[in-house]
Structure 1
Amino acid sequence: MADPRISKFAKVLVEHSARVVPGDRILLEGTTAAEPLLRELYIQILEKGGHPHMMMALPGMMPFSQDEMYLTYAKDTQLDFVPTFYKLAYDQFEGRIRIHSATNTHGTTNIDPEKLQRRGKALSAITEAQFRRGGDGIFKWVTTLFPTDGYAQDAGMSLKEYEDFVFGAVHANEDDPIAFWKSVESKQQSAVDFMAGKSQVILRGPNVDLTLSVKGRTFMNSFGTYNMPDGEIYTGPVEESVNGWVKFTYPANYGGTSVEGAELTFSNGRVTRAKADKNETFLLKTLDIDAGARSLGEFAIGTNFDIQQFTGNILFDEKIGGSFHMALGAGYPETGSKNKSAIHWDMICDMRQDSEILVDGELFYKNGQFVFEK
């Protein structure tokens, strides 16, 4: 018997996230492990009058999610090759739904970091189109995840427990999950409105002493359009404004490699010092992938208190209520960010104890909660 939560999950993605209307060409990305959800998405997009284009891969062969087979066997010219059909879809289609569905989340752990970086540069042409066209409102993209044994093991759960966690996080177990995500939008809007026209942001706490500017930048209300699940407000800080240090309290995972205890020092917007307790060499090499990798493309505050445990997957972990995260590399143009890079690497820091955020000298956030005057 089919899990009724999968049908509701698909409905959220089609109607709320991708907002499919008749004539939309929608790229569906996922592996065979996500077949139940991909099948339901295919049907519901057709029912909405859209044109689903299925790009289903075998586990370990998905270009934007630990494509271990390609990275293992591809020569340099192949690593530099931009995938034809993906590039066409990102340049021309009206939307895409990506279902992360890896069965082995550590498949690229022993791949040469230089190969990962070289492949990342080739794929950056596709990522750039995604961010640019998404920012212009003409490409409706959303990224989500289908529960697999690999993700469950990373989270320290059984598959059944992890399925309940994922479907609960996207609220597919409710009568009207779309109504829930619309309520998230209204709850977060007051914080977004407060930040309009503000300039200086100061973060203080046991693991952070950082100053940055958001002058002229736009805070976005993230409520399930680009990511599912969701729950954050974010912007692109003024590139040269970031000064200070931060030690990320959660492992920073990127491309199948986990960097633990990452600590960064910023001077005039660039990382001038970086260290880590584990996989420091990977961190340093990734910072040198291109000119934009040492600058921030995103500053965000996680608002989803339904997600409290770290699972090892950034899609969920960056939304943890009471945390903030920053992304090295490419920024979202709709925020005003000008930073470009082949990477977009989110790193998370807990703010629930002895921590605060000041905005233009006013207390905005304390110990994981917004405290500003609405």
Structure 2
Amino acid sequence: MTYDPERHAILLADYCVSVRPGDRVLVAGTTLALPLIEALHRTLLGRGARPVLKLSYPTQVEDVQRLASEEVLGSLHPVEIDDARALDASIRILTPTAPVPGLDVARAARWRAAQAPLAMSTLHPRWNLTLYPTPFGAEAAGMTLEDYEAFVARAMFLDAPDPVRRWGEIREFQAGLIERLAAADDVHLQADGTDLHLSVRGRSWSNSDAKRNMPSGEVFTAPHERSANGTVHFDLPTLYGGRVVRGINLVFRDGEVVEARAEEGEDVLRAALATDDGARFLGELGIGTNFGIQQPSMNILFDEKIGGTVHLAVGQAYAENGGTNRSAVHWDMIRDLRRGGTLTLDGEPFLTGGRFV
């Protein structure tokens, strides 16, 4: 099928943020996403909502990180926080673009730390992060734009006769996984270059059914902050702050990253881990369940959801899962078990070779 921004907009408004008459809904994205932004604006108005559009040009954030004074870079104006608190819901649209060369990774980290109080996940229960397919996104994924648009549509189940019903089926499947996960204590991840133990005892698991990420398809929790011990090699590359980071290797001791290496982008990795005290501890353990996504695309919103993969995030934990780690960083890193590897719960196989047991 071809990607349809009108169909995407209806799913975002009616299902993802459950818009109500009178809601003040932020729609934020770059000008590259104008077809989806226009469709969302019309859809929200049709539901009696009050859309608030926040448009930026494609390299606006990078220009702030490059050119802003230290005061502007590292602080927020009070009105920015007031504006964010006055919203009822938000939809943020990612538009993949080529990395801007020569960015100072330390300045970029300071900007992200200053922006942390504006995170919708801490201000509002109804928020969604989605993506509009761009030519660079297609290039990064190794696809033509037409193929990439179809890939995005399939990942969101926009090709299904009833996408909402399909996401309901995902929710039910994930509920069954959580029933088993909720009883677990020790999680053991094993694969080439990976032998990691962590504890999730008593921590709640979230059923990510695309209410907050579109697409979604994962279950996740916050592991105990001091429980991670061992090594992990992340075999899928990621983009962080506009830079490619590939072949990440982390060593954990009593929850803390004590060694960190990367085959590419190691300076980005080290800068992120130095952002604050919480950046060297885990905030999330997630398991991908979306078998509608079959290949990595160099975009974490999709890649962490690939069915049969596991991801760990350093930094900020979700309090709703019982996590206490706090950080301006939340960086998801992915291990693909479809290539071989196991995830066991208290010694019993749960995910083997990318398939749930």
TM-score by length of 2: 0.95
Preserved contact between residue 8 and residue 177 of structure 1 (Cα < 8 Å):
no
Equivalent residue for 2:82, pick from 83, 88, 110: 88
Q: Which runs of 5+ in 1 are unaligned?
A: 62-66
C-alpha contact 1:303 1:319 (8 A) present in aligned 2: yes
Matched, 1:346 2:346: no
Describe the SS at the equivalent of 2:269: helix
Per mean C-alpha deviation after superposition, the further-off stretch among 11-20 and 83-92 is 83-92
Instruction: Report the 3-state secondary structure (helix = DSSP H, G, I; strand = E; otherwise coil) of the residue aligned with 2:130.
Output: strand
Cα deviation, residue 86, structure 1: 4.8
Pick which of 273-282 and 356-365 moved more.
356-365
Question: Which residue number corresponds to residue 99 of structure 2?
Answer: 106
Matches within 5 A, 1:100-139: 100-102=94-96, 104-107=97-100, 109-127=101-119, 130-133=120-123, 138-139=124-125
Question: Does structure 2 conserve the Cα–Cα contact (< 8 Å) formed by 1:18 and 1:225?
Answer: yes
Residue 258 of structure 1 aligns with which residue?
Answer: 244
CA contact (8 A) 1:261 1:277 kept: yes
> Counterpart of 2:304?
318
Cα-to-partner distance string for 1:234-276 (whole Å, 9 max, x where unaligned): 0010000011110000113211111111100000000001111
Query: How far apart, CA to CA, are the structure 2 residues paired with 1:349 and 1:82?
Result: 35
CA distance in 1, matches of 2:20, 2:98: 34
Residue type at the aligned position of 1:94: D
What is the Cα deviation at residue 74 of structure 1?
Answer: 0.8
CA RMSD of aligned residues (A): 1.6
Structure 1 stretches of 4+ moved >4 Å: 83-86
Q: Does 1:43 align with 2:36?
A: no
Unmatched 5+ stretches in structure 2: none
Query: Which amino acid is the alignment partner of residue 226 of structure 2?
Result: E
- Equivalent in 163, 173, 194 of residue 208 of structure 1: 194
1:304-342 CA distance string (max 9 Å, x none): 111121111111111111110011111111111111111
Secondary structure class of the residue paired with 2:279: coil
Instruction: Judge conservation of contact 1:143–1:228 (CA < 8 Å) in 2.
Output: yes
Confirm or deny that 1:238 pairs with 2:224: yes
Does 2:191 match 1:191?
A: no
Tell me how far apart the structure 2 counterparts of residues 368 and 92 of structure 1 sit (CA, whole Å): 43
Question: 2:90, 2:268 → 1: CA distance?
Answer: 30
Q: 1:201-249 CA deviation, whole Å, 9 max, x = no partner?
A: 1111223211111112111111111111111110010000011110000
Alignment partner, residue 64 of structure 1: none
Q: Distance in 2 between matches of 1:354 and 1:148?
A: 32
CA contact (8 A) 2:36 2:132 kept: yes
1:139 to 1:244, Cα distance in 2 relative to 1, 3 A: same
The question of whether the paired residues in 2 share the 8 Å contact of 1:27 and 1:89 is answered with: no
Whether contact under 8 Å (1:93, 1:139) holds in the other structure is no
Contact 2:308–2:356 under 8 Å retained in 1: no
User: What's the counterpart of residue 73 of structure 2?
Assistant: 79
C-alpha displacement of 1:85: 5.7
Distance 1:139-1:94 versus aligned 2 partners, 3 A rule: farther
User: In structure 2, the residue corresponding to 1:162 is in which secondary structure?
Assistant: helix
> In the alignment, is the contact (CA less than 8 A) between 2:88 and 2:126 conserved in 1?
yes
Query: TM-score scaled by structure 1?
Result: 0.91
Q: Which amino acid aligns with 1:26?
A: V
Cα 1:174/1:353, change in 2 over 3 Å: closer
User: Does the 8 A contact of 1:143 with 1:227 survive in 2?
Assistant: yes
